[in-house]
Structure 1
Amino acid sequence: MFLVKHKLTEKILSKELVLLWTTKNQNESDSTRNGRISNIRGFARYLVRIGYEAYIVPGKILKISRYSYTPYIFSKKELKNIFLAADSCPVSELTPNRHLVMSLIFRLLYGTGLRISEALNLKIIDVDFKKGILYIRNTKFGKERLVPLSDSLLVRCHNYLNAIQQSDYSGEYFFPSPYGGHYGSSTIYRYFRDLIWEVGISHSGKGPRIHDFRHTFAVHCLKNWVLKGEDLTNLLPYLSVYLGHNDLRGTQHYLKLTADLYPAIVANVENHFSYLIPEVIFHETD
């Protein structure tokens, strides 16, 4: 509608058009406007790269909003140690399925990028073992989605379900609490704190958090794509949908994290996909 209203007829991103697009709207927050400015700057740089005339908004007009938390990205070795420690969770008469839940849930969070609430709200009927798919319902943004499982994770889920059903569990939740319903996120977090302490990962008061399994999944995924020379322009929207993001901004933040954390691939990212990396750091907490 904006382009129609202003009768764009040439393949030029003029200064006048850009300034109109980036003018702050009534009741619009700085962070929302900054997002539009960052996006149009990236788009303009992309147009210039491929030979079109485009006005690039000066970066100094952005009011940078700092990320409220720096995610902790687990290394492959740290993940392995956490999973092995979870496998050693002792059997308890009071919570008979606890050792089974702990052995699987952290692998599931990293292997799928689920939010902890999404994992705990899973019901047995949401796990399709024939198709190897999780049905994620009632999510943060109300977006139901399908999440595929790797073959190894699917086998673990199948073995886990068989084990808890052998203990005479006949409820509906995939991660059942011994007190009814499903495990609570605060309970899982307490076990998580114990596990990272056990494997020598210090907790600063700000993290690591359980949500960092999700961050780690996204960053590792993007790192692999970059190293394989994949086209992130095409793949980033798929990752956004897979993670259940409301838009591309949260997913783009992971691309910046990937470049920041792995200097060896910074040049690759900046040379080919700099227009995808947001200059404004959003408060991505989903």
Structure 2
Amino acid sequence: MAQENTTLPPAKELLDQVREKIRFKHYSISTEKTYISWIRHYIVFNDKRHPADMGAVEVERFLTYLANDRHVSSATQNQALSAILFLYRDVLALDLPWLNGFERSQKPKRLPVVLTPLEVQALLRESSSAPEPVGLIVRLLYGTGMRLMEAVRLRVKDVEFTRQEIIVRDGKSGKDRITMLPGSLLEAMHRQLAIRREWYDEDIQAGKADVWLPDVLAVKYPNAPREWGWQYIFAARKYSIDPRSQVARRHHVDEKQVQRYVKKAALAAGIVKPTSPHTLRHSFATHVLQAGYDIRTVQELLGHSDVSTTMIYTHVLNKGGKGVISPLDNL
């Protein structure tokens, strides 16, 4: 455990330092909120002592509390550990031997939930009653294999109608990739862009056409935030306050709205499998493999760094238990 240090900043000031470091590293606003929440929880759990005055014992006790008392999943426990390690290494700049001694909880290996083509049809039919652009986003998730946040953050310049391509920018691990723009969605996408252009023209008149850009791009291209190409395709109807800049502007649609409608549509369609927007990504990958496309192609479309991640969908394709025919069916 570290020695007592009377010059350490109070917890509130420390959390401000965490925010500054997160923004310096260009982490997302959701990561910022998550890390701040876990670090605050860690400090409060340990009687509001300063983290530099604590060590491996306090961290392990906190993680044990999360697992045994809060019954959190291994993924949530690992999330809390990531926040704590970020605090010590990146904010307090403490290179302590015990930081490397924590093993992350092993996430149980489970097969992804995959809908059948008929279930997808039923879900899309029910989601067609959702207010646009939510219904279009749901169809786009299944039609492209994009993650939910990749879809809601889609910008005008990244949709290529002539080649029917979508460039997914800054996906997981910060990578760009290309996926298809389904021909069946061309007309709907054109309609969405026409509506979006009307809003953009109104925003220009109101002096509120700026959209959020990563800090580096905003500095390099100072006019870009007001340009049409950088606008979110799926923008929110109302302006909102940017939590970082405190500027009122039009953000992208709330991803929670899409999540709610996917769940509602699944229930209405009589789908008993746990269904979320990510289920449509799993279904996309499985159905593309079923159509005969090779695993490497699917890996590129999904943006997986390692093909082993994509290989899990080959297990879903197996008929029954590894393709074995039950002896009951041979009687």
TM bucket (normalised to shorter chain) is 0.5 to 0.7
Unmatched segments (≥5 aa) in structure 2: 1-105, 204-208, 210-230, 239-249, 325-331
**1:83 maps onto 2:150 in alignment:** no
Larger-gyration structure (1/2): 2
CA RMSD of aligned residues (A): 2.5
1:50 corresponds in structure 2 to none
Q: Distance in 1 between matches of 2:110 and 2:321?
A: 24
**Equivalences for residues 93-108 of structure 1 within 5 A:** 99-108=131-140
Deviations 1:234-260 (A, max 9, x none): x2122111110011011111111111x
Q: Distance in 2 between matches of 1:156 and 1:169?
A: 22
Q: Give the 3 Å change call, closer, same or farther, for CA 67–222 of structure 1 in structure 2.
A: farther
Aligned residues: 181
Distance 1:106 1:86 in 2: 7
Higher RCO structure (Cα 8 Å, ≥6 apart): 1
Q: Secondary structure at the residue paired with 1:146?
A: strand
Aligned residue runs from structure 1 range 144-183, under 5 A? 144-166=176-198, 172-179=231-238, 180-183=250-253
Q: Please give the alpha-carbon distance, in whole angstroms, between the structure 2 residues aligned to 1:136 and 1:142.
A: 10
Q: Is the 8 A contact 1:71 1:208 kept in 2?
A: no
Q: How far 1:156 moved relative to its partner?
A: 2.7
User: TM-score, with normalisation over the residues of structure 1?
Assistant: 0.57
Which one is further off, 214-223 or 73-82? 73-82
Q: Corresponding residue for 2:270?
A: 200
Query: Which deviations, in whole Å up to 9, do the C-alpha atoms of 1:76-135 show, x marking residues without a partner?
Result: 22212222222223xxxxxxxxx2212211111011111111111101111112221111
Deviations 1:124-165 (A, max 9, x none): 111112221111111112210111223212333223322444
| Separation in 2, partners of 1:258, 1:138 | 30
Q: Which residue of 2 aligns with 1:243?
A: 302
User: How far apart in 2 are the matches of 1:184 and 1:70?
Assistant: 28
Give the letter aligned to residue 192 of structure 1: V
Unaligned runs of 5+ in 1: 1-64, 90-98, 268-286
CA deviation after TM superposition for structure 1 residue 67, in Å: 4.3
List structure 1 runs of 4+ shifted beyond 3 angstroms: 65-70, 163-171, 262-267
The answer to whether structure 1 residue 258 and structure 2 residue 317 are counterparts is yes
- Per-residue Cα deviation, 1:218-273 (whole angstroms, up to 9, x for no partner): 11111121xxxx6xxxx2122111110011011111111111xx449937xxxxxx
SS in 1 for 2:178: strand
Per-residue CA shift, 1:17-38, capped at 9, x if unaligned? Answer: xxxxxxxxxxxxxxxxxxxxxx
What CA distance in whole angstroms lies between the structure 2 residues aligned with 1:154 and 1:266?
Answer: 38
Please give the residue correspondences for 1:207-246 in structure 2 after superposition, counting only pairs within 5 Å: 207-225=274-292, 235-246=294-305
Partners of 2:111 and 2:316 within 8 A in 1: no
Could you state the TM-score of these two structures normalised by the residue count of structure 2?
0.50
* C-alpha separation in 1, matches of 2:279 and 2:144: 12
Tell me the percent identity: 28
Q: Which whole-Å deviations, capped at 9, do the CAs of 1:24-83 have from their partners, x for residues lacking one?
A: xxxxxxxxxxxxxxxxxxxxxxxxxxxxxxxxxxxxxxxxx7744442211222212222
Matches of 1:257 and 1:219, distance apart in 2: 7
Match of 1:181, SS state, is: strand
